[in-house]
């Protein structure tokens, strides 16, 4: 958890938005811009290609001191020196993921309600993603859960909470005023004409 204490902007390089050959360039831009934490989400790729891309990314993030998280694939953490992995609600237990990784890692859990968030904390998650707050093209079938529970959520959950789902520079102030302390941003970073400048602007506004 200490590694996440000063992480406020969590970026996700989702290969639904970014072509594999563009990952290195956008990773460098986000890291130079000041991203605090970075995840690779590669749902549709074969595991060998995920491994290769993750190795390219971690070679950029580690020298910069930016924790790198793999979405799923705890088994790759025996080969890729990522700091951790992120699990969805249906991706197995945190204990099992730690066992598979075979070393000390950061594990996050996606949550969609206060009940799931509390359960993730009790299960031993190092952080949670909470959302989607707004409708999002990244997960078009997911129902938005809104902002109303954020203060209650932060009162009950003591591990870092990264709010996610449709968050962008234009609505960031509304999200933080509702009680969010940390945010995860996907499409607004990945579709920006200048991802470096976008991270800088978002960090300045948090």
How far is 83 from 36, CA to CA, in rounded Å? Answer: 13
Closest to 144 (Cα-Cα) out of 163, 127, 118, 159? 163
Whether 110 is catalytic is yes
Write the CB contacts of 59 (distance below 8 Å, at least 6 apart in sequence): none
Whether 113 is catalytic is no
Using alpha carbons, list the distances in angstroms from residue 29 to 43, 51, 73, 135, 148. 23, 21, 25, 26, 34
Catalytic residue among 28, 32, 139, 200: 139
Closest to 189 (Cα-Cα) out of 11, 38, 32? 11
Catalytic residue among 29, 41, 98, 109: 41
Catalytic residue among 110, 168, 182, 198: 110
Handedness of CA 22, 139, 9, 73 (dihedral sign): negative
| Both structure tokens of 22 | 């563009």
Whether 139 is catalytic is yes
**Active site residues per annotation:** 41, 110, 139
């Amino acid at each position: 958890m200490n590694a996440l204490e000063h992480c406020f902007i969590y970026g996700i390089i989702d290969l639904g938005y970014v072509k594999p050959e563009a990952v290195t360039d956008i990773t460098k831009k986000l890291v130079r811009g000041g991203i605090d934490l970075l995840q690779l989400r590669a749902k549709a790729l074969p595991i060998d290609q995920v491994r290769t891309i993750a190795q390219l990314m971690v070679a950029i993030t580690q020298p910069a001191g930016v924790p790198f998280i793999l979405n799923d694939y705890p088994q790759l953490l025996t080969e890729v020196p990522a700091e951790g992995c992120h699990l969805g609600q249906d991706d197995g237990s945190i204990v099992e993921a730690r066992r598979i990784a075979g070393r000390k890692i950061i594990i996050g859990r996606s949550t969609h309600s206060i009940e799931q968030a509390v359960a993730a904390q009790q299960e031993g998650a190092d952080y949670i993603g909470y959302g989607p707050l707004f409708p999002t093209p990244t997960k078009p079938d997911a129902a938005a859960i809104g902002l109303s529970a954020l203060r209650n959520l932060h009162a009950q959950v003591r591990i870092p909470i990264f709010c996610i789902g449709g968050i962008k520079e234009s609505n960031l102030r509304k999200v933080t005023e509702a009680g969010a302390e940390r945010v995860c941003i996907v499409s607004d970073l990945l579709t920006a004409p200048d991802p470096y400048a976008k991270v800088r602007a978002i960090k300045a506004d948090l």
